[in-house]
């Protein structure tokens, strides 16, 4: 029996040289056991909770907020809606962009997952370009404005919000207002997504495979989209 969905992987592979948020632990993959010596192959991983394609729990921004091990499994699967708006540099998704999408496809339903497809993931292979790192160490990449997040998570009630850039708030944000708004609503964020251009505006499902790290603020993720076969 054929599975009724196409599976689209929205995840960047974990590999040396991939972009890492400034100041976060660098990714290291080192041999810990080998077939020739121990009789089995094993690597040691060193990385931060927010490395690569990852999820962030409310605890990332809120003291006492739910950590990764407190996220209900049912919250990791949700109907998926894709807002595709090409954004460059420091541009942010604004309420007008959301309103234009809803005028075409209808209002976002409560409990859904919303991903913003900016096209920025095309820069993933170049860390300096992907982070938009300037000479003064400032970062420049697209995100979601607090007002747009207020509409998506506050008014519409989305419980997962993701983006194909390094951060929900954009590179110039100093207060992470959009991410904090989502956290106060109990939502999960997904960052460093890829292949969002392959998604339909609606009709798909999102499945987020996350590690239930005790007290964790986030987790590397394997994020999949299930798209109904024509």
pLDDT of residue 112: 98
Band the pLDDT of 2: cuts 50, 70, 90.
Answer: confident
* 189 has a pLDDT exceeding 80: yes
pTM of this structure: 0.97
pLDDT reported for residue 40: 97
Q: Calculate mean pLDDT across residues 115-127.
A: 98
User: What's the confidence (pLDDT) of residue 179?
Assistant: 98
Q: With cut-offs at 50, 70 and 90, classify the pLDDT of residue 107.
A: very high
**120: confidence class by pLDDT, cuts 50, 70, 90:** very high
User: Could you tell me the CA-to-CA distances from 157 to 110, 115, 166, 170 in Å, in that order?
Assistant: 5, 14, 23, 21
pLDDT value of residue 1? 77
164-176: pLDDT as tens digits: 999 999 999 999 9
Give percent of the chain above pLDDT 90: 98
Q: List, in order of start, the domains of the chain with CATH numbers.
A: 5-15+49-228 (3.50.30.50)
């Amino acid at each position: 029996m054929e599975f009724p969905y196409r599976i689209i992987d929205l995840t960047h592979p974990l590999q040396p040289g991939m972009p890492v948020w400034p100041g976060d632990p660098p990714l290291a993959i080192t041999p810990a056991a080998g077939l020739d010596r121990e009789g089995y192959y094993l690597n040691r991983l060193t990385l931060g909770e927010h490395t690569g394609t990852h999820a962030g729990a409310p605890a990332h921004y809120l003291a006492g907020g739910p950590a990764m091990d407190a996220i209900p499994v049912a919250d990791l699967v949700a109907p998926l809606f894709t807002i595709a708006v090409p954004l460059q540099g420091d541009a942010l998704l604004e309420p007008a962009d959301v309103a234009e999408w809803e005028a075409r496809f209808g209002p976002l339903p409560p409990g859904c997952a919303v991903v913003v497809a900016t096209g920025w993931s095309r820069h993933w292979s170049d860390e300096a370009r992907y982070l938009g790192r300037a000479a003064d160490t400032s970062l420049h990449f697209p995100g979601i404005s607090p007002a747009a997040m207020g509409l998506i998570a506050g008014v519409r009630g989305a419980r997962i919000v993701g983006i194909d850039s390094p951060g929900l708030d954009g590179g110039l944000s100093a207060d992470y207002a959009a991410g904090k708004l989502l956290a106060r609503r109990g939502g999960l964020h997904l960052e460093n997504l890829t292949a969002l251009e392959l998604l339909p505006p609606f009709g798909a499902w999102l499945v987020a495979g996350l590690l239930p790290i005790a007290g964790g603020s986030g987790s590397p993720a394997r994020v999949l989209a299930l798209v109904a076969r024509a």
